[in-house]
């Protein structure tokens, strides 16, 4: 039996809740309908998040994203709605959703929406130059 789209996002326990780690996902086949013309809009979604106690389960995310296929949404609305639903389901430390919509009428649209858990501060990023990385492996 084929899968059905769903507005339900399932989660699973974070396997390393004591550590900040970055999860990156790309969804290259997002579609919804233009609320003005009814024509399809296509986008690639980029989801980046640092989980707290739970992570989003991938099959439920796929079915959730699929649920927008026959719905009319402005780009700004659908991006923020998806972020809000993901934040509600997972309660992450940090989450960013970038929606890159393909050209329509000669215009590309990128919408970026973010959430930060109150009080959460990211650890400083460690940058290693190519020289440092090579010298550290030589002992």
Nearest to 57 by CA among 84, 86, 31: 86
> In whole angstroms, how far apart are CA 126 and each of 31, 66, 75, 120, 122?
37, 37, 34, 18, 12
Alpha-carbon distances of 115 from 56, 68, 96, 104, 108, rounded to whole Å: 15, 21, 6, 28, 24
Catalytic-residue membership of 34: yes
Q: Is 84 part of the annotated catalytic residue set?
A: no
Catalytic residue among 20, 32, 41, 77: 41
Choose the catalytic residue: 20, 34, 48, 52. Answer: 34
Phi, psi of 61 (to 5 degrees): -65, -45
Residues designated catalytic: 34, 41
């Amino acid at each position: 039996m084929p899968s059905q789209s769903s507005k339900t996002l399932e989660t699973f326990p974070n396997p390393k809740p004591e550590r900040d780690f970055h999860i990156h996902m790309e969804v290259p086949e997002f579609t919804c309908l233009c609320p003005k013309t009814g024509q399809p809009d296509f986008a690639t979604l980029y989801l980046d998040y640092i989980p707290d106690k739970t992570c989003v389960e991938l099959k439920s995310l796929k079915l959730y994203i699929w649920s927008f296929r026959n719905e009319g949404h402005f780009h700004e609305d659908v991006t923020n709605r998806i972020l809000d639903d993901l934040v509600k389901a997972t309660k992450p430390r940090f989450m960013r959703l970038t929606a890159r919509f393909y050209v329509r009428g000669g215009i590309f649209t990128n919408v970026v929406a973010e959430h930060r858990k109150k009080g959460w501060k990211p650890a400083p990023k460690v940058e290693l130059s190519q020289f440092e990385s090579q010298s550290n492996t030589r002992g």
